[in-house]
Amino acid sequence: MAALVVSCCNNSSSLTPSRDLPKSFFDSTKIIKRISLTKPSTLQVFFCLHRPFPLFSKNTRARATAMATGSVEEVLPPALDSTSSPPSVFDGTTRLYISYTCPYAQRVWITRNCKGLQDKIKLVPIDLQNRPAWYKEKVYPANKVPSLEHNNEVRGESLDLVKYIDSHFEGPPLFPDDPAKRELAEELLSYTDTFNRSVITSFKGDAENEVGAAFDYIETALSKFDDGPFFLGQFSLVDIAYAPFIERFQPYLLDVKKYDVATGRPKLAAWIEEMSKIEAYKQTRRDPQELVEIYKKRFLAL
């Protein structure tokens, strides 16, 4: 149980031109020429949240912009297990070690994608059911995921890593400058373990009564700012911190407890819908039924 309330995994277990923007926007080439591919911009953040417009589909510059904002689908490498050879650690390559099924690792994976760092941070998936011995011996002695190999150091802990990537790499900023939003952001990030623990505890009891308070807290938090559907109004690291867990909790509670967390919570329902549109997040999602089966094996066997 404890492994599920820390920030790592260790246990073995669209917009349309006609409706949303004037045609002149899509016809203008001057706007496109002013896009900076090396500095964050409002347009870059927009691409992080939505698919590229058709105008860019055959444009080389458009592909670079899409890569810089996480909207390019990448071919995922197979997970490494006990029979796999280790990478050349500390050879100058920046590597993100994850598990495809770990929600903590998924946080950092989403951040990497949203910053457009697919070409700069190599994804190295680990099979936690049959993990390679060299991972603990040569990479990360804690033997957990996620971990980040960068500048000849290996760092861990998911919330630390999402902040590290946001502040040490180029790409759209994912943490607000507004003092009020920063204060709420820190509060919500600190609450993530409490939220996860409360929901997981409900798996063994009356879900509707026990989990209600945790999701009511989320509904209230989503009501703080009215400049967008996300926790801080606009998409941020806070949304990334919660998304992998709500992705798992919602289908599991519905399947096992017949409890829909979005019922009676319109802000949460809208948040879930908007999150489903974010390309950088969609690329990290697993099949909901697969996640339900993983949780059933873990919690119904207790």
- In this structure, are 212 and 241 located in the same domain? yes
- Does residue 37 lie in a domain region? no
Q: 126: helix, coil or strand?
A: strand
- In this structure, are 123 and 164 located in the same domain? yes
- In this structure, are 296 and 200 located in the same domain? yes
pLDDT the model gives residue 204: 80
- In this structure, are 126 and 202 located in the same domain? no
Question: What are residue 294's phi and psi, to 5 degrees?
Answer: -60, -45
- In this structure, are 286 and 258 located in the same domain? yes
- In this structure, are 162 and 248 located in the same domain? no
For the domain that residue 139 is a member of, what is the CATH number?
Answer: 3.40.30.10
For the domain that residue 266 is a member of, what is the CATH number?
Answer: 1.20.1050.10
pLDDT the model gives residue 16: 36
For residue 51, the 8-state DSSP code is P
By residue range, what is the domain housing residue 125? Answer: 95-168
- Of 168, 194, 227, which marks where a domain is finished? 168
Q: 119: helix, coil or strand?
A: coil
- Does residue 289 lie in a domain region? yes
pLDDT the model gives residue 302: 54
- Of 135, 168, 201, which marks where a domain is finished? 168
- In this structure, are 136 and 209 located in the same domain? no
- Does residue 86 lie in a domain region? no
Q: 270: helix, coil or strand?
A: helix
User: pTM for this one?
Assistant: 0.79
pLDDT tens digits, 7-62: 578 765 433 333 344 443 334 333 333 333 333 433 344 334 443 333 233 333 34
- Does residue 70 lie in a domain region? no
Which of 90, 123, 120 is closest to 106 using CA atoms? 123
Q: How many domains does the chain have?
A: 2
As a whole number of Å, the CA-based R_g of the chain is 20
pLDDT the model gives residue 56: 31
- In this structure, are 263 and 226 located in the same domain? yes
- In this structure, are 118 and 189 located in the same domain? no
pLDDT the model gives residue 11: 61
- In this structure, are 161 and 190 located in the same domain? no
- pLDDT profile of the chain (302 residues), mean per 10: 54 42 39 36 41 34 42 85 96 97 98 97 97 97 98 97 97 95 97 95 77 96 96 98 98 94 98 97 96 93 62
- In this structure, are 187 and 156 located in the same domain? no
Question: What are residue 135's phi and psi, to 5 degrees?
Answer: -65, -45
Q: CA-CA distance, 51 to 148, in Å (whole number)? A: 28
- In this structure, are 183 and 164 located in the same domain? no
- Does residue 48 lie in a domain region? no
pLDDT the model gives residue 40: 40
- Does residue 100 lie in a domain region? yes
- Of 147, 168, 189, which marks where a domain is finished? 168
